[in-house]
Amino acid sequence: MMTVTMSDCVRSMLSDWEAKGAAGDDVEIELSRQFEELTADVISHTAFGSSYKEGRQVFLAQRELQFLAFSTAFNVQIPGFRYLPTEKNLRTWNVDKQVRTMLMDIIKTRLANKDTAGYGNDLLGLMLEACTPEHGEAPILTMDEIIDECKTFFFAGHDTTSHLLTWASFLLSTHPEWQDKLREEVRRECGNGEEEELTGDMLNKLKLVNMFLLETLRLYGPVPALQRRTSSDLDLGGIHVPEGAILTIAITSIHRDKEVWGEDAGEFKPERFENGVTKAAKHPNALLSFSSGPRSCIGQNFAMMEAKAVVAMMLQKFSLELSPKYVHAPMDVITVRPRHVPMILKPAGCPVLSETLVPTTKVAAYVTADLTRQHPPTRTNADKYPPPSALDSHLSPLTKPQRNQFDFNPARSQSNQLEDYRPESTEREREREREGVTAAMGVAWMVAAAVVAVLAPWAFNALVHLVWRPYAITRKLAAQGVAGPGYRFFSGNLGDIKRLRAEGAGVTLDVGDHDFIPMVQPHFRRWISLYGRTFVYWTGARPNVCVADVNVVKQVLFDRTGLYPKNLMNPHISRLLGKGLVLTDGDDWKRHRKVVHPAFSMDKLKWLDSKSDGDTTYSIQFFDMADDDDDDVRLRSAKLAKSVNDVEVELSSRFEELTADVISHTAFGSSYIQGKQVFLAQRELQFLAFSTVFDVQIPAFRYLPTDKNLKTWKLDKQVRSMLMDIIKTRLANKDTAGYGNDLLGLMLEACAPEHGETPLLTMDEIIDECKTFFFAGHDTTSHLLTWASFLLSTHPEWQDRLREEVRRECGDEVPTGDMLNKLKLVNMFLLETLRLYGPVSAIQRKASSDLDLGGVQVPEGAILTIPIATIHRDKEVWGEDAGEFRPERFENGVTRAAKHPNALLSFSSGPRSCIGQNFAMIEAKAVVGMILQRFTLELSPKYVHAPMDVLTLRPRHGLPMLLKRVGGGVTH
């Protein structure tokens, strides 16, 4: 049916051409205008059930809007200016209003006839049918959205196809050999047009025509460029691109790239498409005339079918010859078009047609002049007042040029012009002065109005963001029973949080007291007691919903649909961790996990276990001997050898070095000494990041050269450079030693270019993963070991029980994986350590949209904070002994240790739980087991129990520990 409609429209146009050639004289026809009317007629019939004549005013108005839009394409876009009543804005608003009114009339006519004729089977009918109120559901599209879709298809449905036909005709006329080949194919498959109607099956057989049109699209695609915008900071081909950057895809340039299309990229060669689009170039997606991917043009098949039909029917009756008047000067007015295309048409076996139509350049000149409002250069009267033409009859009041708007009379002499302004009296001079002052004041008011226009939207947005939105969210949540501390302008509750933390900073605890919440999370302790487990507080103008109910926590953490992505508001934390597995979301996270996950499979962990034991054996020697490269340890070793008393060692720093050494060996094939600068730089980044956690996050501030930003950028650059050196060393040795079996090796192997596929990770993403695991792979485990040693020293009865179990299962040997699996008491002890002193005291997610959270409607963008340390001390979850150290609660496993199976959150939970948790537990068991084989731990009297949170939980004053070799002898 669609093919029949197209054929009818084309036949009407060709009949007009034949009528103009009836006299037998030569005829010159300006084709671009003809094709614009034709494609407008086709889209009117097929999509809106009308005709070009009925929708003529819509097309003319849309064309004026097109030129208006293009006239601003290379202007600085100042948001406030769109609201100013400038001449161009007023014109745009007026034309747009007329277009919407005319489209609404077409829709009303269709709705008025729906009872008798239905909604119709065209595009408009389908939209109205889908949004009909009688279906009893909420309409999929509003009436305004339907009108917007009509505008889209009224413009895109004819403008791009008309230019494709225009350029195809140009190329047919300049390549007569191809015109003959295509005519021969058309006659063979479709006949001569006198008897058979053109069908879809016929069009599908026109292979040469298809190749010709594809090459036309390559060389003269209607759209020369398209743009996208980055929704966040992201990696683009190995380049970190900031949020909000415009990505411009230069289609025309790509279509002429010799590296993509070959040395003949600038030539017209339809045969390159002989084997299809995907094999025409060196890249299967090189042709971008209809864009590509999921957002490619939805009407591309319609456009190609229409173009084939027009070319075929035109070639059945006419041969095309380019007029001598033609000037090859393509121009871009959002779409690429010739300035004019006069064409000589010759019917097969008939004389040359006769008649000359005026080209469209006059129209373009009028519109451009009307838009720019600039006086044209001096012209002759003949230029000023062009003769009436056939085109004038097609100009609506919207597009007809008003000559008195921009014409002036160059014939007037300067003396005559000066005469008009010669003063005749003093009073006249004063009048002119007053007029000058008035004009100056007018300019000043215009400047002031422009400034206000710029500032007004910004001020309005600030008012909405900082005042109205917090107020509205507070009211909405309060209506649902969710209260919280009141919002304070700009800073929210950050001042309260800082004050409460400052009050707790000087507090010290008894070594038997494990409740550090008043020091680390005092705001949660206070606000939960006042408002319940779910409440709202404010970090700046951003709402934070505290989620301390374990059932709601499960809803968030076990979600697999992407409703609760990671919160990336703090750029300093992103610098620290890198945008690796921990911070990515969606498809990026799946891609990263696909590469990283094999490194933590059980088979791989057995191999890592053997390396970890070796590293632990080597590193544990800091208890026994000095390192030749460490003067401090050498002195301590000499002291240990001579002393008969207990020796004090600061364990927390030693565990940091140990876990850094283990992750260096097992994941990156290096050592702590080699990667020492990386760890030191990352530690500094960690403290820098934490210093900004309770500041108002203003996005633009991340780009300012403040002292903190400059320091962060410098450290991040150093870390990336050092990691790149490690990677380069691995790549340099790959031919002899391969990529390696560790984490780095697996990442490089998965992204190796020799696989012939697109790498799963870019080099920048590999570096980000290295940053993630360099930090997360040692920092959290080191603090687990620190707090485990603290609890061993304060609970000697458990130290004895664990030592007995280690000796029973491992003897004096280096523990193996099988041995470690049998250390049930050690496992229980570590789990209880993680409950009371988990490395991470809180985690956050973000609401990706307005959603239901445990029966509460939470607004899009709200931060969901899960206070792990607080939940781990909740008596309703863990029982009345929640604040006590009782490893036996894990005797029957993690899921039965509390009243909720997912109450232990030290490694998070759900599909985004820590990928390295098994590795961390194996390492911790190995270290604890080997320490207990050799030493007895006794807490130093110098120790001050003051846990502090610097992204991870650590003892404020370190962990000084008295070490005594098992059996009573001191270390030596």
Q: Which amino acid is at 638?
A: A
The answer to whether the CB of 864 falls within 8 A of the CB of 535 is: no
3-state SS, residue 537: strand
Closest CA to 600 of 927, 907, 833, 930: 907
The answer to whether the CB of 720 falls within 8 A of the CB of 763 is: no
Q: Which residues of 426-436 are buried (b: 16+ CB within 10 A; e: fewer)?
A: eeeeeeeeeee
Q: Which amino acid is at 502?
A: A
C-alpha to C-alpha distance for 511 and 249, rounded to whole angstroms = 63
Rg (CA), the chain: 38
3-state SS, residue 866: strand
Alpha helix (H) residue ranges in 262-360: 300-317
C-alpha to C-alpha distance for 814 and 711, rounded to whole angstroms = 43
Output the six-digit token pair for 765: 């993403």
Count of other CB atoms within 10 angstroms of residue 674: 17
Instruction: Burial-class residue 336 by CB neighbours within 10 Å (0-12, 13-18, 19+).
Output: buried
CB within 8 A of 72, min separation 6: which ones?
88
**Can you spell out the DSSP letters for 371-424?**
HH--PPPP--HHHHSPPP-GGGGG--TTTS--HHHH---TTS-HHHHHHHT---
Question: Is beta strand 342-347 parallel, antiparallel or unpaired with respect to 318-322?
Answer: antiparallel
Closest CA to 785 of 630, 959, 942: 959
Residue 856, H or E segment:
strand 856-858
**Cα dihedral 120→123→126→130 (10° resolution):** -140
Phi and psi dihedrals of 965, rounded to 5?
-65, 140
Residues flagged as binding site for heme: 914
377: DSSP letter: P
C-alpha to C-alpha distance for 278 and 285, rounded to whole angstroms = 6
C-alpha to C-alpha distance for 635 and 845, rounded to whole angstroms = 48
C-alpha to C-alpha distance for 609 and 622, rounded to whole angstroms = 20
C-alpha to C-alpha distance for 761 and 501, rounded to whole angstroms = 41
C-alpha to C-alpha distance for 848 and 865, rounded to whole angstroms = 14
Distances (CA, A) of 388 to 32, 154, 357, 391: 19, 29, 11, 8
C-alpha to C-alpha distance for 606 and 919, rounded to whole angstroms = 10
CB within 8 A of 779, min separation 6: which ones?
656, 659, 686, 839, 952
Residue 253, H or E segment:
helix 251-254
C-alpha to C-alpha distance for 179 and 176, rounded to whole angstroms = 5
C-alpha to C-alpha distance for 799 and 953, rounded to whole angstroms = 23
Closest CA to 482 of 544, 564, 526, 541: 544
CB within 8 A of 921, min separation 6: which ones?
827, 830
Report how far Cα 259 is from the mean position of its chain's Cα atoms. Answer: 29
Residues flagged as binding site: 914
The answer to whether the CB of 814 falls within 8 A of the CB of 613 is: yes
Q: Which residues of 754-773 are buried (b: 16+ CB within 10 A; e: fewer)?
A: eeeeebebbebbbbbbbbbb
Count of other CB atoms within 10 angstroms of residue 402: 10
